[in-house]
Structure 1
């Protein structure tokens, strides 16, 4: 069934996470007539549960239990008398949908998981988790096309936005990220039968106190994959530890064998008009695969400064020969260029 989903939230009290002190009995949407048969529309049931929670003087919890529920449209309006927690809320296999005005607080894992969706817009989101919280990606997109993420503020303990395999034609604009691990494609190449990432456009975003800025990462493994037509434009970095990264030796917690080169092909990637400050001396890292070197990497108008005590600002490049346009500060791949000309 092709499902159109539109949820509009006007209540500043909505929290998609656990709320300390919530004492009211959970409101299960099935008690209001919802059926998890994958066909029946639960719009009215969800609205009824929302009204009951909204009128409660105590914090309330609305539960959408495990199962497949069809939802056409629900307008959840406030103001409400107390905070509302909405559990088990994910967005899978949606078409032509708008998700707007949601605040997600302290999710245990991914705040939002976008899977198998087409033509979906996420806007005016506020996602919050401590910088020390593990695996709390703000928005993870996988095997979806036509995804637009815009006008949002995301702070987590992992990637603010992460794009998994099969992400196609994704636009990320006007997003403020921090704390967290920045905006990342990947990691790719860890699992069999991964689909390529094609057409990613990250524009007019600001990253503040993040571990990385904009990044493409893949595992060193025998699994094949691809990421192509990826563009990062007009990005502001504020005290970002690793502002610009291509890392095809991504191996957290020694979970892989670095001796096996990545077989993910990265091509047609551009970094343009990226400025601000790096929190480390190594501001740019472009480390590609020995087996499949990066191709078509373009770098233009980079202006990054480092004011720490660990020496001069530097870059590290391997298995890549970028095309340069405009100004590069610091000089990108300067050692590589010197070696090639000697």
Structure 2
């Protein structure tokens, strides 16, 4: 027992020395190509690409949807005109696929597939609007509205609006047969800037199976009561940058799920919504990973969660190398939360011992107010405890300005330095964390533990 008690103390001392002297983690803890989230990242040029350097459209060959018969009155079906204009623009070097300013173009579900000729710009200056009747949707494309796939070195810009007309969809069901507004799939070196995406049927903007994607100056807006309308959803992608984005939705402002790595977010405004989330991960006993995430400078206002990592029981894999810094919370219900007992289900979830491993998570310079008394919650698995959870310069008060906030820990191991309010002494609880580590070593990856063997009960999303 004496050896077990000494282990976390050694980890804390070594960890504190590393953070205080270098703010870094030894390179051997990182996989090849993985971001060192404990250090800095280049502000400009991060995941930059030479194809992005020409911002304008001068000297290019415009291919306007109007030239292919689009009416732009918001009533006429302009889908075929968009398809024909795309086929032409995609085949030409230095082309501009143009949606002109002032038009309101009704477009049904459509796939814009590449690869395309070099240096394509997609210029959305007008408004693209979806059909507002779910019954008018193409049953062959139940999950997509505007999908761009197989692109390389493309810019999407223009100052226009993508409007999902989601009101009737929100009333019909929660998650079934709903469509995501804008999708970037299987693409590389794509830059999206200066767009508004609003009132999506479900997720506003999804980035899937792609690499080197930069999103900047994007406004996303839906009502707080619109279900499952995530702002930006990143799945199976690497090298994604979100910068200067203002997101208000009925679900997560940003959600990052399995297979994603090297994600950087800078200057994010979030609210209303469910916060900025990693996960959910591990559903259906799946193996999921998210590695290398940085959020630097964000403001969250009135959200149901702040900085959240959420995983289902029974999964496996890892969330590792995450840094949140320079974040302001305004009346946020759960400012800092790790939840390895996530259960977004009307029925109670079965208690299982296997879990997605969460480690190397840092919260630095987190300030503001909590709507609830429990400002910090680390609900980690008994069998797969959270490790290397670090807080530095955190000051979270109740929304009325008093300091009566609390912290809850279950099998979370870490430390704090600098000023931290509320106290996270529970991260250092030698007895509790040693018991969790001992149970973890005894159980291994076994997921057959009976319900009555677990003290922590599952709960549903707030």
Note whether the superposition's TM-score is higher than 0.5: yes
The CA distance in 1 between the partners of 2:383 and 2:197, in whole Å, is 41
Change in Cα spacing, 1:266 to 1:99, as seen in structure 2 (3 Å) is: same
CA-CA distance at 1:65 after TM superposition: 1.4
Name the SS for the 1:133 alignment partner: coil
Distance 1:204 1:33, change over 3 A: closer
Hey, what does 1:16 align to over in structure 2? none
The Cα shift of 1:308 comes to 5.8
Correspondent of 1:291 among 383, 397, 407: 383
Q: Secondary structure at the match of 1:321?
A: strand
Q: For 2:318, what is the secondary structure of its paired residue? A: strand
Q: 1:137, 1:159 within 8 Å by CA — same for their partners in 2?
A: yes
Are 1:31 and 2:84 counterparts? yes
Taking the aligned partners of 1:335 and 1:195, their CA distance within structure 2 comes to: 25
**Offset of residue 76 of structure 1:** 1.7
- Structure with greater helix share of residues: 2
Between 1 and 2, higher relative CO (CA 8 Å, sep ≥ 6) is seen in 1
In 1, are the aligned partners of 2:303 and 2:333 still within 8 Å (CA)? yes
Q: How does 1:148-297 map to 2 (within 5 A)?
A: 148-191=241-284, 194-221=287-314, 223-255=315-347, 257-297=349-389
**Which residue matches 2:192?**
99
CA deviations on 1:72-130 (whole Å, 9 max, x unpaired) are 5224264x5xx443752310112112111110010011111101111111000000011
Cα 1:93–1:8 change in 2 (3 A) is farther
Q: Does 1:320 align with 2:320?
A: no
The total of aligned residue pairs comes to 317
CA distance in structure 2 between the partners assigned to 1:160 and 1:242 by the alignment: 15
Q: Distance in 2 between matches of 1:55 and 1:335?
A: 56
Partners of 1:339 and 1:259 lie apart in 2 by 23
CA deviations over 1:257-312 (Å, ceiling 9, x no partner): 24213511011111111110001111111011111101111111110111469993
Q: How does 1:108-147 map to 2 (within 5 A)?
A: 108-147=201-240
Residue 121 of structure 2 corresponds to 74
Q: Which residue pairs with 1:332 in the alignment?
A: 424
| Aligned partner of residue 76 in structure 2, secondary structure | coil
Of 78, 85, 104, the residue aligned with 2:129 is 85
Q: Shift of the alpha carbon at 1:42?
A: 10
Distance across 2 between alignment mates of 1:312 and 1:321: 23
Spell out, residue by residue over 1:147-166, the C-alpha distance to the aligned partner (whole angstroms, 9 max, x if none). Answer: 00010100001000000011
Assess if the C-alpha contact under 8 Å between 2:415 and 2:428 holds in 1: no
2:74 alignment counterpart: 22
Tell me if the contact between 2:97 and 2:120 (Cα under 8 Å) persists in the aligned partners.
no
CA apart distance, 1:195: 3.9
TM-score by length of 2: 0.62
SS at match of 2:369: strand
Cα shift at 1:247: 0.4
Q: Distance in 2 between matches of 1:225 and 1:30?
A: 41
Distance 1:332 1:9 in 2: 50
The answer to whether the Cα contact below 8 Å between 2:97 and 2:122 also exists between their aligned partners in 1 is: no
Contact 1:8 1:75 (8 Å CA) reproduced: no
Q: CA deviation at 1:191?
A: 4.2
C-alpha change, 1:333 and 1:131, in structure 2 (3 Å) is: farther
Structure 2: runs of 5 or more not aligned? 1-49, 58-72, 131-144, 147-181, 434-462
C-alpha separation in 2, matches of 1:282 and 1:60? 47
Residues 192-201 or 282-291, more deviating: 192-201
- 1:181–1:213 Cα contact (<8 Å) kept: yes
More strand by share: 1
Distance 1:217 1:332, change over 3 A: same
Q: Which runs of 5+ in 1 are unaligned?
A: 11-20
1:90 aligned counterpart, secondary structure = strand
Question: Based on CA coordinates, which of the two structures has the bigger radius of gyration?
Answer: 2
TM-score, structure 1 as length reference: 0.82
